[in-house]
């Protein structure tokens, strides 16, 4: 009885402590397994890559890992570019290929170079090796007699394609970008071929845009003057921006020279605006009955004016060929007439049905080109002065956006300069 009780007591103690022993044993196994299972080693601090393949890229002696647009590597084109590349493996792996490229504003200056590295075979774990130590004399190709072709930022990129032996069919890519700063900063960056071209192109675009907007303004004022008129004589003197059209030969009336001059003289009788004497060219005083220099009166001035411009009518029709389009300003230059006489002659020819005008000149193409050019130079200035690193897609999208906005503005101003059709009655 006592032996049975002792045995029962020992069984009870064993059952009570067994779960604790199992737990401790299990936890110990887990901890040991964690220590015995090999883990991927992370690359050293400041290195590029991942846990399997780390690499240290030094550009002109500076670690590329911390290089960006805000902290570029200074690069003097008079000296070669030095590159040193060291790799360190964290597992057994095979590097299939390496690639290198450099670009400026998204345009390749060192096209993509791909190097086959599969011949190295399987590289063992914990291998550290310097695989590249070279100098690139790209400065001589980017300058002429000390004057750099470019200034601003150059971007570069190194990458590796590899696979570890555990998953040989799963390729991975590790890469590192770097940024070089060529030339001075701020306004000093303009002293290069690209800087000077960018400055000149910007000035040209701004000047062209100002001229185009001035033409638009004159076109809008001309349309305002012509709007509401039904005949050329209602306008009196057509603005220089008015576009003249000539009737096609088919169906056009044939008129001899004398009859043409007579008709134009009759139509231009009221074309004189009374601001200058048509005979001597001096300013006609307001409400004065005669010219204070040559002495002709208002009636004689109107007659002289109409007869004078009528003599140019045959030449005008030779200048404006059938189906041709010529502005009043261009007509005056070709006939060597002042704007008032050219405008009065055009109005007379419109009234007699020889010409027609239904639009004014608006420089849509100039506005579109100027806006596109200014948008295109934006990134040039940003990388010259601000150190931006745009790619070719960003530059193209910005330029396209500038073109679209310019065209919309141009069409809006074209809407403001619409005029009624006059002539071909």
- pLDDT by residue for the chain (425 residues), tens only, comes to 443 444 444 444 434 443 443 333 333 333 333 333 333 445 677 899 998 999 999 999 999 988 888 888 888 888 888 999 999 999 999 999 999 999 888 888 888 999 898 888 899 998 898 888 988 888 777 777 767 777 788 899 999 999 998 888 889 999 999 999 887 666 666 777 777 888 888 888 889 888 888 888 888 888 888 888 877 777 878 888 888 888 776 555 555 566 777 777 776 666 677 778 877 777 877 777 788 778 788 777 777 777 777 788 888 888 888 878 888 888 889 888 888 888 888 888 887 778 888 888 888 888 888 888 888 888 888 877 766 777 788 888 998 999 999 889 888 888 888 888 887 76
Same domain, 61 and 163: yes
Does residue 93 sit within a domain? yes
The residue among 415, 281, 263 whose CA lies nearest residue 340 is: 281
Cβ burial 15-50 (10 Å sphere, 16+ → b, else e): eeeeeeeeeeeeeeeeeeeeeeeeeeeebeeebbbb
The answer to whether residue 420 sits within a structural domain is no
Residue 162 lies in a domain: yes
Q: Is residue 24 part of a domain?
A: yes
Per the CB < 8 A criterion, the answer to whether 389 and 343 are in contact is no
Judge whether 224 and 218 are in contact, CB under 8 Å.
Answer: no
Q: Is residue 191 part of a domain?
A: no
- Both 81 and 163 in one domain: the answer is yes
**Whole-prediction pTM value?**
0.60
Q: Judge whether 61 lies within some domain.
A: yes
Looking at the structure, do residues 108 and 25 belong to the same domain, yes or no? no
Q: Strand, helix or coil at 385?
A: helix
Question: In the chain, what is the straight-line distance between the N-terminal and C-terminal CA atoms, in Å?
Answer: 140
- What residues have CB less than 8 Å from 20, skipping those under 6 apart? none
Residues 77 and 147 in one domain: yes
Same domain, 78 and 151: yes
CA distance 338 to 346: 12
Number of C-beta neighbours around residue 335 at 10 A: 18
Length of the chain: 425
Q: Where are the alpha helices (DSSP H) in 159-237?
A: 193-226, 232-235
Q: What's the structural domain count of the chain?
A: 2
**Using an 8 Å Cβ cutoff, are 273 and 309 in contact?**
no
Residue pair 345/309 in contact (Cβ under 8 Å)? The answer is yes
| DSSP three-state, residue 44 | coil
Domain check: are 134 and 160 in the same one?
A: yes
Domain that holds residue 5: 1-37
273 assigned to some structural domain: no
Are 100 and 167 contained in the same domain?
yes
CA separation for the pair 421, 425 (Å, rounded): 10
Element (H, E) at 336: none
**CB contact set of 191 (below 8 Å; sequence gap of 6+):** 151, 183, 184
Q: What is the pLDDT of residue 40?
A: 43
Q: Which of 131, 158, 183 is the last residue of a domain?
A: 183
63, 176: one domain:
yes
Same domain, 18 and 124: no
Which pair of structure tokens corresponds to residue 410? 């141009």
Same domain, 178 and 94: yes
The structure tokens 């009885």 sit at 1
240, 338 in Cβ contact below 8 A? Answer: no
| 351 belongs to a structural domain | no
The answer to whether 363 and 215 are in contact (CB under 8 A) is yes
Domain final residue pick, 133, 153, 183: 183
Q: Domain of 106: which CATH number? A: 2.70.50.30
How far are the Cα atoms of 39, 164, 220, 287, 305 from residue 123, in angstroms, in the given order? 17, 9, 75, 103, 98
Give dist(CA 131, CA 85) in Å, integer.
6
* R_g of the chain, CA atoms, integer Å: 42
Considering the domain architecture, whether residues 86 and 176 belong to the same structural domain is answered as: yes
Domain end among 183, 205, 236: 183
Do 83 and 133 sit in the same domain of this protein?
yes
152-198 confidence digits (pLDDT tens): 888 999 999 999 988 888 899 999 999 998 876 666 667 777 778 88
């Amino acid at each position: 009885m006592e032996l049975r009780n002792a045995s029962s007591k020992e069984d009870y103690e064993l059952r009570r402590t067994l779960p604790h022993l199992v737990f401790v044993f299990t936890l110990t196994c887990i901890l040991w397994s964690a220590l015995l299972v090999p883990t991927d080693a992370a690359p050293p601090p400041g290195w590029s890559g991942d846990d399997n393949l780390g690499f240290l890229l030094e550009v002109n002696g500076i670690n590329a890992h911390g290089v960006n647009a805000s902290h570029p590597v200074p690069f003097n084109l008079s000296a070669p570019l030095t590159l040193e590349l060291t790799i360190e493996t964290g597992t057994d792996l095979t590097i299939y290929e390496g690639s290198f490229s450099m670009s400026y504003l998204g345009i390749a200056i060192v096209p993509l170079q791909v190097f086959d590295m599969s011949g190295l075979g399987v590289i063992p774990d914990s291998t550290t090796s310097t695989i590249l130590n070279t100098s690139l004399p790209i400065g001589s190709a980017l300058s002429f007699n000390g004057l750099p072709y470019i200034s601003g930022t150059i971007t570069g990129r190194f990458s590796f394609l590899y696979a570890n032996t555990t998953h040989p069919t799963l390729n991975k890519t590790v890469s590192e970008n770097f940024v070089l700063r060529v030339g001075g900063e701020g306004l000093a960056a303009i002293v290069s071929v690209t800087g000077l071209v960018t400055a000149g192109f910007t000035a040209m675009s701004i000047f062209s845009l100002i001229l185009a907007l001035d033409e638009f303004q004159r076109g809008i004022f001309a349309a305002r003057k012509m709007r509401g008129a039904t005949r050329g004589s209602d306008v009196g003197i057509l603005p220089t921006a008015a576009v003249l059209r000539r009737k096609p030969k088919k169906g056009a009336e044939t008129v001899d020279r004398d009859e043409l001059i007579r008709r134009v003289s009759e139509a231009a009788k009221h074309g004189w605006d009374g601001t200058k004497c048509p005979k001597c060219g001096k300013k006609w005083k307001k409400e004065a009955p005669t010219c204070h220099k040559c002495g002709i009166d208002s009636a004689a001035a109107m007659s002289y004016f109409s007869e004078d411009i009528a003599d140019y009518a045959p030449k005008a029709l030779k200048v404006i060929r059938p189906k041709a389009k010529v502005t009043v300003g261009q007509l005056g230059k070709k006939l060597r007439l002042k704007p008032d006489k050219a405008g009065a002659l055009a109005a007379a020819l419109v009234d007699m049905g020889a010409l027609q005008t239904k639009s004014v000149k608006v420089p849509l193409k100039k506005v579109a080109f100027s806006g596109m050019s200014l948008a295109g130079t934006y990134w040039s200035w940003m990388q010259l002065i601000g150190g931006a690193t745009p790619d070719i897609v960003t530059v193209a999208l910005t330029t396209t956006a500038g073109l679209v906005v310019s065209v919309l503005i141009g069409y809006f101003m074209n809407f403001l300069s619409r005029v009624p059709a006059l002539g071909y009655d």
